[in-house]
């Protein structure tokens, strides 16, 4: 994949009026025509998981700072983290803030960290809901979606600072987590293919930070804990993940103190659709005018 083709797709998306350059690399506005694609993907994902008894929940794109600490995100992905800062000073400090801004200086030093940070994955707020006693025999299931932030600015329009994820999460025993992964590997592939997308399933690893991260990534690959649905997005020559199935084993069970029905440490697994990447994959595959997409694809997205 050449940088040219990636940049060309970004320009095409912006020229088509679907996506708006929001002022820094990786940050985009969206027009209604684009949002209609997003709504279609979200509705199709919901229909695909309907009937499993998942509790549908929505959370803001912010999570408590303690939650980011508990998920170990700072250990594994410090470079992707986004923190919120606010102003809590007096008149004197305010004057200092304005002087720094006027002088074109860095003014963030005048701010203080808030009690919230930006949410890096849609599923993180559901794990604290599973504590306080053993889970039911069938475990718990959640459908959770919304905006996520990862600080990975890029010229590639598929790698955004802010994007939507739609997930189906299972928390329970190891067999249940294995069954959830198997089910969604099949369902996920069928769902993406039903939109006319060409997807492969590949074993993948998360972009763990630093030297210790190399071991974590190698273990994740060895145990095939992360599988990605990859499809052409910004370029027809290379594939990008538009979704993933993640087996967390007992990671969240341990860090949050979640107990399965038999009193063991709970296991969990999730299926995640990268909603905005899927929208881009559809635009790459079927063209920039959704009105002219194949009738069967339109019928899947907007029945």
**Window contacting ligand ATP (CB under 6 A); options: 63-71, 152-160, 249-257, 290-298:** 152-160
**Window contacting Zn ion (CB under 5 A); options: 37-45, 50-58, 117-125, 130-138:** 117-125
**Window contacting ligand ATP (CB under 6 A); options: 1-9, 47-55, 247-255, 272-280:** 272-280
| C-alpha separations of 204 from 100, 183, 201 in Å | 45, 18, 9
Using the rule CB under 6 A, is 227 a contact of ligand ATP? no
* 8 A C-beta contact, residue 97 and residue 49: no
CB of 229 to ligand ATP, least distance (A): 7
CB of 222 to ligand ATP, least distance (A): 17
Number of residues counted as binding ligand ATP (CB under 6 A): 18
**Window contacting Zn ion (CB under 5 A); options: 118-126, 179-187, 192-200, 252-260:** 118-126
Round to whole Å and give the CA distance between 191 and 244: 13
State the pairing for strand pair 55-58/140-149.
parallel
Q: Which of 85, 172, 174, 183 is nearest to 137 (CA)?
A: 172
Using the rule CB under 5 A, is 19 a contact of Zn ion? no
Round to whole Å and give the CA distance between 96 and 92: 6
* 8 A C-beta contact, residue 154 and residue 234: no
Using the rule CB under 5 A, is 67 a contact of Zn ion? no
Burial of 191 (C-beta count, 10 Å sphere; 0-12/13-18/19+): buried
Using the rule CB under 6 A, is 153 a contact of ligand ATP? no
Using the rule CB under 5 A, is 171 a contact of Zn ion? no
Using the rule CB under 6 A, is 284 a contact of ligand ATP? no
Contact with Zn ion (CB under 5 A) among 18, 37, 110, 123: 123
Contact with ligand ATP (CB under 6 A) among 10, 247, 277, 285: 277
* 8 A C-beta contact, residue 162 and residue 153: no
User: Which residue's Cβ has the minimum distance to ligand ATP?
Assistant: 274
Using the rule CB under 5 A, is 270 a contact of Zn ion? yes
Pick from Zn ion, ligand ATP, none: which does 197 bind, CB < 5 to 8 A by kind?
none
Q: Which of 275, 191, 289, 202 is nearest to 238 (CA)?
A: 202
For Zn ion, the closer CB: 247 or 284: 247
Structure tokens at 236: 């027809």
Residues 240-259 that bind ligand ATP (CB under 6 A): 241-244
For Zn ion, the closer CB: 180 or 300: 180
CB of 262 to ligand ATP, least distance (A): 29
Binding positions for Zn ion, rule: CB under 5 A: 123, 167, 270
| Interface residues toward ligand ATP, by CB under 6 A | 121, 150, 152, 159-160, 163, 165, 206-207, 228, 241-244, 272, 274, 276-277
């Amino acid at each position: 994949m050449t940088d040219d083709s990636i940049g060309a797709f970004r320009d095409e998306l912006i020229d088509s009026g679907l996506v708006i350059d929001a002022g820094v690399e990786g940050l985009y506005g969206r027009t209604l025509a684009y949002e209609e694609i997003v709504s279609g993907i979200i509705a199709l994902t919901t229909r695909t998981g309907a009937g499993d008894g998942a509790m549908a929940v929505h959370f803001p794109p912010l999570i408590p700072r303690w939650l980011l600490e508990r998920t170990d995100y700072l250990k594994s992905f410090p470079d992707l983290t986004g923190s919120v800062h606010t102003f809590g000073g007096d008149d004197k400090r305010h004057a200092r803030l304005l002087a720094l801004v006027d002088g074109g200086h860095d003014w963030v030093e005048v701010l203080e960290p808030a009690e919230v940070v930006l949410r890096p994955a849609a599923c993180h707020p559901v794990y604290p809901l599973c504590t306080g006693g053993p889970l039911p025999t069938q475990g718990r299931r959640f459908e959770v979606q919304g905006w996520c932030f990862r600080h990975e600015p890029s010229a590639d329009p598929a790698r955004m600072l802010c994007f939507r994820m739609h997930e189906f999460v299972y928390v329970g025993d190891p067999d249940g987590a294995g069954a959830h992964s198997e089910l969604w590997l099949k369902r996920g592939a069928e769902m993406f293919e039903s939109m006319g997308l060409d997807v492969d399933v590949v074993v993948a690893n998360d972009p763990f930070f630093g030297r210790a991260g190399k071991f974590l990534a190698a273990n994740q690959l060895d145990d095939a804990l992360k599988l990605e649905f990859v499809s052409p997005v910004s370029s027809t020559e290379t594939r990008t993940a538009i979704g993933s199935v993640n087996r967390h084993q007992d990671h969240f069970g341990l860090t949050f103190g979640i107990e399965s029905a038999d009193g063991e440490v709970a296991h969990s697994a999730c299926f995640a659709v990268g909603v905005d990447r899927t929208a881009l994959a559809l635009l790459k595959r079927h063209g920039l005018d959704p009105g002219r997409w194949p009738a069967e694809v339109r019928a899947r997205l907007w029945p």
